[in-house]
Amino acid sequence: MPKDLYDVAIIGCGPAGLQAAIHAGSKKAKVIAFGKAYKSSLYKAHIANFCCHEKVVLGKDILETGRKQAESFDALFLEEDIIETTNENNLFSLKTESGKNFTSRTLILSMGVARKKLGAKGEKGLVGRGVSYCVDCDANFYKGLDVAVVGNESAAATGAVTLLSYAKTVYLICRKLMITDTLHGQLKNSQVKIIQNTWVKEVIGTNEVEGVLLKNGEMVKVNGIFVELGAKGAMELAANLGVVFDAETLNCIETNKKQETNIPGLYAAGDISGRPWQIAKAVGEGCVAGIQAAEYAKKFANS
């Protein structure tokens, strides 16, 4: 056995990874977690729908508190990305970006998803201040306001329809809609205003979004813009381990109710295991994965 063997290694320090570290640590497992808090989806978010937080709470604060809690259970944190993972002889080996190597009896994948960006001028600076990548998360902030959804596929179409229950006006900006007849029908019978054959050139606003300038020269005044281009998961590391992906989306990891993947000792939790992309789901799955991994490691150590 390697000298410095961990019971539970966790890739990702968002809410899923932190909760996994708290629960695995509370079971007295030797835990190490990798990742950078500022890269979590939660870091720039303002949260109003997470149980027990009645007022809007900053995602950054949740992450800071979660890390302190996990550290109080002796979990170790390393603010580095993992660039390589292998699984040999029932042990997981991990290599960090600075070349450090670690070995663990179990591994929890909680790397979240990389939300696809528009790449439009002004977009980056206004994330969390009118630019959103998640209708389910932020629709509630736009009650009675004007919003635009950008995208060509089902995520954008369904997002636009959902927003009708909140916003005053909903625009759907697309190059060409590539959606099913059912969704087409839904949009046609709805109040969504479709602007086709164009795209967003620039997101306008100083402190918050004031509108979008389109490539056709049109200026659309809105308070919020939802980028719904679907998501590409942080899947390369997982694929290297031979993980089975969800057959329908192919961009999230398939797990059972114990958050187990198809590989013994390997778990997945949070956004990486599918929608809804919400903190409540991430911490719930992190809790289950942390407990399961700690118990698996204990059995393995005693065998």
Residues that bind ligand FAD (CB under 6 A): 11-17, 34-36, 39-42, 44-45, 47-50, 81-82, 110-112, 115, 128, 132-134, 137-138, 234, 237, 270-272, 277-280, 282
Q: Tell me whether residue 126 or residue 297 sits nearer to ligand FAD (CB atom).
A: 126
Which of residues 96 and 186 has its CB atom nearest to ligand FAD in the complex? Answer: 96
Question: Among all chains, which residue has been given the structure tokens 């027990």?
Answer: 52
Which CB atom, from 48 or from 229, has the smaller least distance to ligand FAD?
A: 48
CB of 124 to ligand FAD, least distance (A): 12
Find the shortest distance in angstroms from Cβ 225 to ligand FAD. Answer: 12
Residue 74 beta carbon to ligand FAD: minimum distance, rounded to whole angstroms: 20
**Preceding omega of 264 cis (within 30 degrees of 0):** no
Question: Which lies closer to ligand FAD via its Cβ, residue 132 or residue 158?
Answer: 132
Comparison of 212 and 282: residue with beta carbon closer to ligand FAD = 282
At closest approach, how far in Å is the CB of 161 from ligand FAD?
Answer: 19
Shortest distance, position 16 Cβ to ligand FAD, whole Å: 3
Tokens at 208, concatenated: 């918050």
Q: Is 45 or 187 the residue whose CB approaches ligand FAD more closely?
A: 45
Work out how close the CB of 53 gets to ligand FAD at its nearest, in angstroms, rounded to a whole number: 10
Q: How far is CA 254 from CA 20, 34, 86, 105, in A?
A: 18, 22, 19, 20
